[in-house]
Homo-oligomer: A and B are copies of this chain.
């Protein structure tokens, strides 16, 4: 038996893990803007004006947009997982830390992308980006597997159909991003577009899952 005090304690523990994770996601998503460099007056003059200089940085905006969308979708998914998780354990904290490690890394491949699109080095830049995405997907799977295996850290009231639906959906992530990684060897831009589409896919499947949840609630 687990006491009421322990339950309260558990909620407090996942609460602080969520707060720490939210902080890391919020900072990672906000730091991305530091990659948007303002062209100096000298550069603007050389390019024929500020407008030309700003438009010439399209790769930077594309990298920013892709990374923002990716981190946002990850946050939403992290948030969705934690609505089912109620208890904490040390390995869980470190698996969450592994996930956050790759999330905080994202500004680095973003900056590589922004700096090397149009340079002939895109394949490497996109490969690095896709590799980080594969790593994040694997970390999400590890975290969720640890938490949900035998209902280890789940809310006692968690709907097991939903839990299994998340597990099934999460299996798709690593192979799909691995395809993007392999594609980068021959078609860099197509691989980057696939990364964006995958972010949208995970956004959308999350959406459906939640509406289903809302619908099942209304039936009760």
Interface residues of A (CB under 8 A from B): 1-3, 5-6, 9, 12-13, 16-20, 22-34, 36, 38, 40-41, 44, 49-51, 54, 68, 72, 75-76, 79, 82-83, 89-91, 93-94, 97, 100-101, 104-105, 107-108, 111-112, 115-116, 119, 121, 124-125, 128, 157, 203, 206-207, 209-211, 214, 217-218, 220
Contacts and interface: CB of A to CB of B under 8 A. Distances in A.
Contact of A76 (B2, B27, B38, B93): B93
Contact of A210 (B26, B90, B105): B90
B90 A6 contact: no
Contact of A31 (B2, B18, B33, B209): B33
22 contacts: A2-B218, A6-B217, A13-B79, A16-B79, A16-B82, A18-B19, A19-B22, A20-B79, A26-B26, A30-B31, A30-B104, A31-B34, A44-B116, A50-B112, A51-B124, A68-B104, A72-B97, A76-B90, A89-B214, A90-B207, A91-B207, A94-B203
Q: How many copies of the chain does the oligomer comprise?
A: 4
Contacts of A115: 38, 40-41
Contacts of A51: 124
A2 to B, nearest CB: 6
A24 B20 contact: no
